[in-house]
Structure 1
Amino acid sequence: MNKRLVLGFLLLFVVYQTSEGLQTVFAPGNPLGPALMLLALLLAWPVGRWLDGSGWRAFGLHGRRWVGILGGGLLLAMLAKLAAEAIALWLGIETFAAPVALPLSAVALLLVTTFIPSLAEDILTRGFLLRLAPKPLGFWGYTLASALLYTANHLWRLDWGATEQLRLFCLGLAYGAAAWRFRSLWAAVGLHWGWNLANALLSQAWPGPVEDVAGARLVSAAVHLAIFAILAGWVRRERGEDGGQALAGNASTSP
């Protein structure tokens, strides 16, 4: 395995986990945590340059249609979050609460504060694997490997229980499948960012109490499994139509 790839991964991993540890456990509210998260994202550029001279593109952040891919994933994830909320209300997992109006400044802040960690984590848990070329791994190999890496990356949530680990794994399946399908990390970023953004917006604009935390996690897992199933069916259908060549054709700038 490429030593530069391993060293680059370890560098970003340490910075990312230090940020997460500060924000989750040791110093919530301390600006150092978010600053280190931004540093992890910025460091990905020189790491990418060190790997092959392409900066962030080294991790699959490329493609002429990246804006549409990002926007489509963002919209899909936000609709999926609304569906999950509706299911949770119907099952009695969450309780309806009166909505609260959010100022535009709060919305703008959430757009930034959910985008940066989503992108940084996607580079770490999916971009490096995408750089290894998903073709030898195949759809299932890449998706499973990225989902496991995504779950393991949440070190500071290991004591949150089995339902949280299951939820993270199912999220990882959906996001990994999107990255592999489009051969672009922007597909995963769109879904990841959209879910985090919708979750943050709803928690502030509609702060209803959660009656069953484990149940809410299982609903999130189920919604992401549905997204994964759609993407897996899409990949299988394309491979059946043209012997697998369509996927290779989507990667004109494959990492």
Structure 2
Amino acid sequence: MKPISLLSFLLGFTALFTCYHAAEYMILYMNSPVGFLGLSALFFIVAWVVARWQGYKGLSAWGMSFKRSHLVFLLAGLLAGLTVNMLAFLSSLAFHQEAVSFIPPVQQFIPQASLLIFGCAFSSLTEDVLTRGYLFRHLTGKVSTGLLVLLSALVYVLNHIHRLDEPVYLLFLFIVGIQLMIPLVICRNIWYTLGIHWAGNIVYHLTNNVMHTESTTAAPGSLWITIAFMALLVPVNYILCRQLARPGLAIKFNGYRHSSPPFRHSSELV
């Protein structure tokens, strides 16, 4: 298999990066859900085009192969992510680092929560493709697994460069980047990673944008608690994914490249 050139690699990444941040801009600064969803849909079209241009089959190149068995990976990631992120939030309340200041009535809570949950799925998956699936496809076999995980985590941190106003937040992003890349390396598809990522964004938005919470201390104690739970997810993800990737459940990461002509939050979201 002939590797693609550095220029092709950078052009592909730039195209995905531009689509991702254009969608984020529409929701964060233009308050346009339609614009966000439209550009998120465009991201997947661009991802498919980039994959075919670089000689791969399509979205499966970035870990997005579609099989019924992948639902197990997605649900496992969602369950683990919801559990750990809710424990982090409840711990912040229990240690008086945060307090709930407002909960909307149920007739407002449900539609707001539904819209955010739906939107989080798009934002989580597009960023997973950008900062994990794309790098995994192109760097696997060229660098060690440990270095691949660290590089992906670094790219994930830099993808939130506009939010790096506190060093402790940089640490938070780096740990999240590590624990989100490990499942892709083990499972060789993106669905468990999406489940974990989606769950974290769901909990964040439900507890900050649907409900309202406020810090009760000057120090970022709640963020340190969250960092501790994100670090806990590293071994949790490793153990669960090793089980999911057993021979009977393993899913081949099948976006391989041929040497023949091609047949072919972030935002507030993390």
Q: Flag whether TM exceeds 0.5 (same fold).
A: yes
Q: Which residue number corresponds to residue 7 of structure 1?
A: 11
Shift of 1:171: 0.8
Q: Which protein has greater RCO, CA pairs closer than 8 Å, 6+ apart?
A: 2
CA deviation after TM superposition for structure 1 residue 135, in Å: 4.8
Alignment of 1:20-35 (within 5 A): 20-21=24-25, 23-24=27-28, 27-30=29-32, 34=36, 35=38
Counterparts of residues 1-255 of structure 1 (less than 5 Å) = 2-3=4-5, 4-21=8-25, 23-24=27-28, 27-30=29-32, 34=36, 35-62=38-65, 64=67, 65-97=69-101, 99-100=103-104, 101=106, 102-132=108-138, 134-158=140-164, 160-212=165-217, 214-232=220-238, 250-255=250-255
77-86 or 27-36, which moves further after superposition? 27-36
Which stretch has the larger CA shift, 43-52 or 80-89?
43-52
**What is the root-mean-square deviation of aligned Cα atoms in Å?**
2.8
* Sequence identity percentage: 25
Once structures 1 and 2 are overlaid, which stretch shifts more, 208-217 or 114-123? Answer: 208-217
Query: CA contact under 8 A between 2:183 and 2:238: conserved in structure 1?
Result: no
Output one character per residue of 1:72-93: Cα deviation in whole Å (capped at 9) or x when no partner.
1112111111101111112211
Unaligned runs of 5+ in 2: 256-270
Flag the structure with higher helix content.
Answer: 1
Ranges in structure 1 where 5+ consecutive residues have no aligned partner: 239-244
Q: CA deviation at 1:251?
A: 5.0
Query: How big is the shift at 1:230?
Result: 2.9
- Please give the alpha-carbon distance, in whole angstroms, between the structure 1 residues aligned to 2:113 and 2:45: 23
Distance 1:216 1:33 in 2: 33
Specify the SS of the correspondent of 2:216. Answer: coil
SS in 2 for 1:137: coil
Distance 1:62 1:133 in 2: 19
The alignment covers a number of residue pairs equal to: 244
TM-score normalised by structure 1 residue count: 0.82
In structure 2, give the amino acid aligned to 1:190: G
The CA deviation at 1:11 is 0.8
Q: CA contact under 8 A between 2:99 and 2:214: conserved in structure 1?
A: yes
Q: Per the alignment, in what secondary structure is the counterpart of residue 214 of structure 2? A: coil
Q: Give, as a single letter, the amino acid of the residue that structure 2 aligns with 1:128.
A: Y
